[in-house]
Amino acid sequence: MPPHTGGVEQVAALLGKIYADAGHEVQWIACASPEPPGRQTRDGLELVRLRAFNALESRFAMPFPIPVPDAYADIDRAVRAAEVVHLHDCLYPTSIAADAAARRHRRPTLVTQHVGMVSFGGGLVDPFLFGAYRTVGRRILRNARTVAFVSDTVREWFTHRIDASLRAETIANAVDLGQFRVASRDERRRARASLGIAADKPLVLFVGRLVPKKNLRALVAALSAVDVRVLVVGDGPERDVLAPLGDRVTRLARLPHERMPEAYAAADLFALPSVGEGLPLSLIEALASGLPSVVSRDPSFEALAGCDGVRRSAEDPRALRETIVNLVEADAASQDRRSAAARSWADARYGLPAFRDRYLELLGAAAT
């Protein structure tokens, strides 16, 4: 539904479907940037796109769409008609407006908090953002019946730096483990063919917005001296950073989510050397697909230290290059072991049933 694609939107879509499948009426409101505003009904959800401006993303790679003044009346009407309001992250203008409306109309709220503090380059932006979390964000989180943090790292940041008294728990993101699974050799071959990628070299996959926090520059510098092909699924202001890879890189600005299993099936390695994450959905999908993965040493990935399917690396190009080479040049037995470990990790932590059941419990408790 949302024009701006990312992990937050995918989780919101999944929860909307879960609520609708459970018999609830669901209205999903998001900003319509860059696509036009409008309304539609799909899969049992009423989808509303509000007119908005998104200048901060082009300037600071910070997705922060601001609805036009008329759109706030739509938010107020939706909240007044609802029994429970579910917000995704506490600082988006739509979340702030919906929380204010919930207070006016005495509607309970739930919050899923996907990230903690993310640096956007220092200067005035970072202190302003931290101050916003300490004031507006804290007020919204305190008002929630429950705050669901997507990882213990995000939860600890908020409880240690914002408010230790929040009614909170950790609910890891989830994926359909039947849709994202270990591919057979024939499926891998067909996936490469469907994406137009030659099968003559190992394939490294990157999925995400092309913005500074993803450390794409370091990844490209690392891969420039490695004999691999690269598949990038995503778009953003740093798309030109891929130029040094020449014809070895295939970039898909968008791939429908139902086709994402093809991207993971086609790849030999997943790389995401980003910082300031919560629990990236792309990484969960990669692990569920049995894809060995390279991530940064950012605290957001500390919980993955025990997974043999994941290698943590310093973010500089030399360290990334060494880690990637060691993985793609490993013998078949080692690669199979890491693939099995990645899938086993996902099976134990990221399945849909527990995710669905807990959110439905929270929704029911908030409604009573």
What domains appear along the chain, each with residue ranges and CATH number?
A: 7-174+352-367 (3.40.50.2000), 185-349 (3.40.50.2000)
Please name which of 232, 230, 216 lies closest in space to residue 275, comparing C-alpha atoms: 216
Q: Is the pLDDT of residue 60 over 70?
A: no
Q: According to the model, what pLDDT value does residue 57 have?
A: 60
pLDDT band at 3 (very low <50, low <70, confident <90, very high): very low
pLDDT, tens only, 276-311: 888 899 999 999 999 999 999 998 899 898 999 999
The answer to whether residues 75 and 98 touch, using CB atoms and an 8 Å cutoff, is yes
Residue 296 near residue 323 (C-beta atoms within 8 A): no
pLDDT higher at 365 or 32 = 365
Please check whether residue 228 is in contact with residue 198, taking contact to mean a CB–CB distance below 8 angstroms. Answer: no
How much of the chain is helix, strand and coil, in % rounded to 5? 50, 20, 35
Q: What is the pLDDT of residue 79?
A: 97
| Per-residue confidence band for 34, with pLDDT thresholds at 50, 70 and 90 | low
Instruction: Tell me if 317 sits within 8 A of 221, measured CB to CB.
Output: yes
Give me the mean pLDDT over the 212-222 stretch.
Answer: 95
The residues near 169 (Cβ < 8 Å, ≥ 6 apart) are 146, 147, 148, 149, 155
Q: Are 211 and 270 in contact (CB under 8 A)?
A: no
| Separation in Å, CA 354 to CA 57, 176, 348, 359 | 34, 12, 11, 9
Residues contacting 215, CB < 8 A, separation 6+? 273, 274, 275, 296, 315
Distance CA 97, CA 29 (A): 12
> How many CB atoms neighbour CB 315 within 10 A?
18
Please state, rounded to an integer, the average pLDDT across all residues of the chain: 92
